[in-house]
């Protein structure tokens, strides 16, 4: 069972004690991500994530990397559209070392100008790496066209032009606005003593005082439909079909996840079986929901031989039509629901996953469901709930289609979705 605390400076802490584990995971969760950036700032959150590993007043970049690796621990971070997380995982006896290191990175990073200019090259290479991955390109194209001018459509990595123009002054201004005690949730999962944990967090974070930044109020996103093509000299055609999904915390999230398991969420799903296993038309084909505080997207992806595009699209359209005609069997539904429960329970069997669930839900939703509450909600999903949700999402003419290929296939797809 998790507990909530507040440090003396207002930092929120959510912690779940798991005595039979020897590991402990700690995450610093900030409401900082690409959704909060304007066009000229796009990429700042991700760039700052990199810079916090590049040196503090007491550690070099190499020493930051060595501190936890020397005791078999892990240190990492990621930037998403609506949050940024810095996290560590260690055996329980090194709890203080992990907390002290995260505190040092957050409170004492120097944003050295020489390191900043070197890191520009690293991030530009990261962007180039994604550009060389057509499945990443087609997903980015889908997001940018689906969300249009809404900040959810911006890339997390930013643009090449922005990265080249970032200055130390600009990074520090953004850092001061978004990385503060008022915008932070610390999540902890693993084996710890409650009093020791709070004492250590107060010791290393409780004295951190910064004024509360001014945060822009964001509207819910609106989706755009249409077919969008990007040329790339590659062997395969990469196809993404996006429909309006559900925002984070929506009551129908669990019916959506059950539906996804039936439709394209795993090896037993309809799309995988009919497109890959039965006909051998694709190596990679799947679907998945993306949920954000400010919007949602349901994505269908296939990487296929260009000459197979029409056949694969026809199968996807037929499966959508079958479900619209209430073509899900009770056996399919029951298996998908049990699959969702099993995946959820197995996902809890690490301190990292529990820390992530605690931190993300507290930061973005302000509430946390217990495992029993989640399982109860999955059990309460009915087949009628799935059909109702399906009809709500899969409306004719609402799809956004993204294609990355040597061939412009937009005419083949017109009117299909």
Q: Which is nearest to 348 in space by CA: 4, 57, 25, 66?
A: 25
Helix (H) or strand (E) holding 332: helix 330-347
Helices 134-147, 113-131: crossing angle, 10 deg rounding: 100
Phi and psi for 234 in degrees, rounded to 5? Answer: -135, 165
> Considering only CA atoms, which of 260, 267, 271, 235 is closest in space to residue 135?
235
Distance CA(238)–CA(406), nearest Å, equals: 10
Annotate 44-102 with DSSP letters as a single string.
HHHHHHHHTTSBBSS-BHHHHHHHHHTTT-EEEEEE-SS-EEEEEEEEGGGHHHHHHHH
The distance in angstroms from the start CA to the end CA of the chain is 45
Cα(402)–Cα(130) distance, integer angstroms: 16
Query: Which residues partner with 305 through β-bridges?
Result: 236
H or E element at residue 287: strand 282-292
Q: Is 100 a catalytic residue?
A: no
In angstroms, the CA 8 to CA 150 distance is: 37
Going by their DSSP bridges, the two strands 236-244 and 295-305 should be labelled as antiparallel
CB 88 within 8 A of CB 137: no
Which of the 8 DSSP states describes residue 220? Answer: P
Task: Give the SS3 label for residue 373.
Answer: helix
| Residue in 16, 41, 49, 82 annotated catalytic | 49
**Catalytic residue ranges:** 49
């Amino acid at each position: 069972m998790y507990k909530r605390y507040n440090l003396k400076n207002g930092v929120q802490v959510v912690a779940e004690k798991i005595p039979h584990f020897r590991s402990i995971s700690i995450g610093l969760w900030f409401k900082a991500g690409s959704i909060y950036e304007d066009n000229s700032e796009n990429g700042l959150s991700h760039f700052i994530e990199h810079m916090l590993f590049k040196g503090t007043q007491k550690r070099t970049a190499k020493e930051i990397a060595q501190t936890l690796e020397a005791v078999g621990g892990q240190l990492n971070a990621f930037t998403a559209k609506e949050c940024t997380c810095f996290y560590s995982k260690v055996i329980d006896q090194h709890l203080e070392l992990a907390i002290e290191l995260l505190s040092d990175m957050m409170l004492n990073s120097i944003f050295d100008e020489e390191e900043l200019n070197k890191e520009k090259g690293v991030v530009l290479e990261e962007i180039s790496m994604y550009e060389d991955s057509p499945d990443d390109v087609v997903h980015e194209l889908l997001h940018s066209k689906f969300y249009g001018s809404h900040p959810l459509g911006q890339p997390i990595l930013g643009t090449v032009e922005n990265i080249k123009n970032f200055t130390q002054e600009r990074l520090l201004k953004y850092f001061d606005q978004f990385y503060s005690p008022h915008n932070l949730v610390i999540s902890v999962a693993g084996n710890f003593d409650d009093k020791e944990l709070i004492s250590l967090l107060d010791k290393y974070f409780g004295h951190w005082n910064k004024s509360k930044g001014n945060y822009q109020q964001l509207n819910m996103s609106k989706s755009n439909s249409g077919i969008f093509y990007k040329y790339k000299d590659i062997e395969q055609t990469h196809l993404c079909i996006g429909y309006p999904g559900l925002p984070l915390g929506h009551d129908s999230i669990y019916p959506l996840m059950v539906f996804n398991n039936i439709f394209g969420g795993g090896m037993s799903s309809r799309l995988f079986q009919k497109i890959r296993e039965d006909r051998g038309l694709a190596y990679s084909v799947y679907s998945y929901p993306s949920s954000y505080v400010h919007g949602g997207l349901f994505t269908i992806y296939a990487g296929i031989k260009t000459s197979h595009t029409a056949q694969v699209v026809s199968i996807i359209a037929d499966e959508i039509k079958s479900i619209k005609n209430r073509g899900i069997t009770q056996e399919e539904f029951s298996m998908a629901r049990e699959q969702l429960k099993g995946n959820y329970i197995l996902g809890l069997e690490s301190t990292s996953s529990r820390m992530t669930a605690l931190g993300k839900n507290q930061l973005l939703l302000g509430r946390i469901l217990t495992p029993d509450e989640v399982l109860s909600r999955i059990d309460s999903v009915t087949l009628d709930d799935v059909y109702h949700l399906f009809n709500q999402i899969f409306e004719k003419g609402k799809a956004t289609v993204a294609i990355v290929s040597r061939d412009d296939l937009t005419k083949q797809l017109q009117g299909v979705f």
